[in-house]
Amino acid sequence: MALSKRLAQVGRECVACGTCVKVCPRTAIRVASGVTARVNGALCVGCGRCAKVCPADVIDMVERGAGA
Ligand code: SF4
Ligand code: SF4
């Protein structure tokens, strides 16, 4: 399966609330060690759902290969 061009990227201001984890259809985003959310680039399909629901607005959708 081809990877989407977009990828979710979590900023440092993540408050580890877990909201993004609940909406991801691919289980591509997880809160690591209760500190910050991390995206598994191999699973993320770039749907942007996590970015829409993040209460802290710290998720950006970035182009793959653009230093992400
Ligand atoms: S963009 Fe979609 S697939 Fe990727 S981590 Fe966010 S919710 Fe999951
Ligand atoms: S919804 Fe936003 S603040 Fe909450 S865990 Fe996900 S990235 Fe972090």
In 3D, which of 47, 50, 55, 49 has the Cα closest to residue 38?
Answer: 50
Atom of ligand 1 nearest to the CA of 39: 5
Residue nearest atom 1 in ligand 2 by C-alpha distance: 54
- pLDDT, tens digit, for every residue of 8-55? 999 999 999 999 999 999 999 999 888 999 999 999 999 999 999 999
| Residue 27 domain-assigned (yes or no) | yes
Neighbours of 57 (CB within 10 A): 11
Determine which residue's CA is closest to atom 2 belonging to ligand 1: 47
Higher pLDDT, 6 or 32: 6
49 touches ligand 1 (CB under 6 Å): yes
The reported pLDDT for the residue numbered 66 is 57
- Which-ligand-closest: CA of 45? 1
Percent above pLDDT 90 for the chain: 82
With 0.85 as the threshold, say if the pTM is over it.
yes
Q: Looking at the CA of residue 59, tell me the nearest atom of ligand 1.
A: 6
- CATH number of 22's domain: 3.30.70.20
Q: Is the confidence at residue 68, as pLDDT, over 70?
A: no
Number of domains in the chain: 1
Q: Identify the domain containing residue 47 by its residue range.
A: 6-63
pLDDT of res. 57: 98
Query: What tokens were used for 57?
Result: 């607005």
Task: Kindly state whether residue 59 falls inside one of the protein's structural domains.
Answer: yes
